[in-house]
Amino acid sequence: MSRQFLLFCVSGGLAFVVDAGIVQALVSWGDANPYAARVVSFLAAVTFTWVFNRTLTFHDAEKTSRWSQWRQYVLTQLSGFAANYLTYAALVAISATVARWPAIGVAAGSAVGLVFNYQAAKRWVFRSARPTR
């Protein structure tokens, strides 16, 4: 297993804490809709992982403007999030336990999107600089 993939997994694990913590707080303490709360928690988590991955995981990648790279990163991660969110939403819809404890659904959805998100980040957003001739 590559160092990059391990760091990407660490980033994802930490992002899970951010994501699940925010969605759980919004649902439990803010009486928020669990579907809408997940959108808010995703944006916080994806921004966290972008900073982590830009700084540590893919530190040797081409440096582009932060705004442009963040946009690219969010777009790639949205594809993985689509699979993640569909898993989450299905579990919330069919399980009263997951509806009450949405962090369980976040965990299941996160596992589904991991490999896709890593490949998209590595190959598109954080490409390694090409050697000059």
86-128 residue pLDDT tens: 999 999 999 999 999 999 998 898 888 887 888 889 988 998 7
Give the model's pLDDT for residue 51. 95
pLDDT at site 130: 53
Q: Over 80: is that where the pLDDT of 81 sits? A: no
How does DSSP classify residue 102? T
> Which residues neighbour 48 within 8 Å (Cβ) at sequence distance 6 or greater?
11, 14, 15, 18
Per-residue pLDDT tens digits for 29-65: 999 999 999 999 989 999 999 999 999 999 888 878 8
- Model's pTM, two decimal places? 0.74
